[in-house]
Amino acid sequence: MTIERPIFIVGAGRSGSTVLHQILAEHPQVVWLSGVTSRWPGHPVRNRIFMQALDIPVVGAVLRQLATPGESYPFWDLHYRGFSRPFRDLIAGDLMPATSRSVREAFEKMTTHRRDRLLLKITGWPRLAFLNAIFPDARFIHLVRDGRAVAASLLNVPFWSGWQGPEKWRWGSLSAEMQAQWAGHDYSFIILAALQWKILMDAMECARASIPAGSFLQVHYEALCSAPRQTLEEISDFARLPWSRRLDKAIRAHALKSRNEKWRSQFTGEQQAALAEVLAEPLSRYGYRL
């Protein structure tokens, strides 16, 4: 089945994209990457069988409890070896014809007559131009969250690579300005986590300019939490995905609540002031108060 208007959720990690992905995955028309795809990335038909099983009464309800949608980087890396861990954003010029064909063919094998829309989540580098070159009619939903909350979250997850310094992380070298900011704050890991968010947000702005304006929607995590129905309706309209009562049920099940203010109790007043100084411009740009 031909892939039309695939939906991509993108953004910096720790921005709430997982819960948005889980809610939208309840829509009866969408196909998503499951643990089946991660375990058997070269067998897309198995994911289609899993999607078909989701629509079987009782069986589907059990499967929804056991499996959640994921980013499934083993699948992406099978088709493009450096997809999951490049040191910079992937652009259209990085895409090879064979990759484009193999990705489309794999996803075409996953869709069903009932589930004919792809719903995919990619975090970290935006990869907008790369993905848009594969799917020219793709719809991108960028979820934005307060960079101070993102920094606080990064410091508490086991996979953050900033502890080894920017020489060994995934986000390239710091610019001269960022290096000076980091050094000016005694090479603080808190500041480095904040700079990671800044790097990815700057990359998103650059990538956004390289794709059609009508293919990009920016949504705030805070709006998703405070007005979930309204925000999900906006996303559905943008993605041209008919509203489903299952989305109402998913909203109630997740009981969305913003935890942004937790960062204030995690950092001292001095640390908060340092974050405000380093992130003043991007926080202001995205509407966050200092």
Delineate the domains of the chain, giving CATH numbers in brackets.
7-285 (3.40.50.300)
pLDDT for 56: 95
Q: Of 207, 249, 212, 24, which Cα lies nearest the Cα of 115? A: 24
- Model confidence at 255, in pLDDT bands (50, 70, 90)? confident
**pLDDT, tens digit, 9 for 90 and up, residues 188-227:** 999 999 999 999 999 999 999 999 999 999 999 999 999 9
Strand order in the sheet with 216-220: 30-31, 117-123, 7-11, 139-144, 216-220
Average pLDDT, integer, range 60-77: 92
Tell me the C-alpha distance between 192 and 256, whole Å: 29
Burial state string for 90-128 with b = 16 or more CB within 10 A and e = fewer than 16: bbeebbeeebbeebbebbeebbeeebebbbbbbbbbbbb
Of residues 180, 182, 184, the one with CA closest to residue 162: 182
pLDDT surpassing 90 at residue 290: no
Nearest to 16 by CA among 217, 137, 126, 150: 150
The number of C-alpha atoms within 13 Å of 150 and in the hemisphere containing its C-beta is: 30
Residue 61 has pLDDT above 90, yes or no: no
pLDDT at position 66 over 90: no
Per the CB < 8 A criterion, the answer to whether 219 and 144 are in contact is yes
Is pLDDT of 101 > 90? Answer: yes
Task: Read off the pTM.
Answer: 0.96
Tally of CA atoms within 13 A in the half-sphere of 124 that contains its CB: 18
